Amino acid sequence: MPTIYLASSSPRRRELLDQIGLPHVVFTVDIDETLPPGLPPAEQVMSLSRSKAEAAAATLAEGIVLAADTVVVLGGEVLGKPENESAARVMLERLQGNTHEVYTGITLMELAGGRVLSGYERTEVRLREMSRAEIEHYVATKEPLDKAGAYGVQGRAAVFVAGIRGCYFNVVGLPLFKLAQMLKELNIEVSQCWR
């Protein structure tokens, strides 16, 4: 099996790949994430995941690059990672009591054959109403600061999640079913990695 390079510094994505037993090498990239205004969320995450994959591929000779990008969307507005605690509070106040969408774009780049696959997953999440004190306590944990939408469904914020429609792993940051289907197109069966 070719080496899979995860072009991401996200510990959650690494944990998800470990969870499904997919061997990988972390290859951190740093790109300008500025996009032209007006792009729909699905196009945004696919564009950014492709840019990350291209940045990694530029310095690698072989293997498969896996890159992903996740955003939270409320009422058509993309909410990225909060810049500070104040921004995290504002995001959580807006999200609480509402349903929002989570989009993750995935790009797989096969370096030897030159094939590039891109796709995305969309999941709806409803957060229950939260008191000001709950928001303050959660922000004080620092957990929201490196997460799109200022919350981690797999962490302490799980107690605020009233419901999910779609792929749970997409909300964590990597839709595993979608990824497995895309890898299959490159003749990689995840289950064959379990030996």
Residue 146 a catalytic site member: no
Segment 96-147, tens digit of pLDDT: 999 999 999 999 999 988 899 999 999 999 999 999 999 999 999 999 998 9
CA distance 143 to 156: 8
pLDDT of residue 28: 87
pLDDT of residue 31: 83
Biggest distance spanned by C-alpha atoms of the chain: 54
Segment 20-44, tens digit of pLDDT: 999 999 998 888 777 767 889 999 9
- Identify the active-site residue in 18, 30, 32, 69: 69
Structure tokens, 70: 């996740």
Segment 151-177, tens digit of pLDDT: 999 999 999 999 999 999 999 999 999
Mean pLDDT of the chain: 93
pLDDT of residue 125: 98
Q: Quick check: 192 pLDDT over 90?
A: no
pLDDT of residue 38: 84
Which residue did the predictor score with more confidence, 195 or 115? 115
4-193: CATH number: 3.90.950.10
Helices 132-140 and 85-95 pack at an angle, to 10 degrees, of 140
pLDDT of residue 156: 96
Is residue 38 classed as helix, strand or coil in its secondary structure?
A: coil
Structure tokens, 9: 């510094």
CA distance 4 to 64: 5
CA distance 46 to 118: 6
Alpha helices, DSSP H, located in 82-195: 85-95, 132-140, 168-172, 176-185
What's the whole-number mean pLDDT along residues 181-192? 93
pTM: 0.93
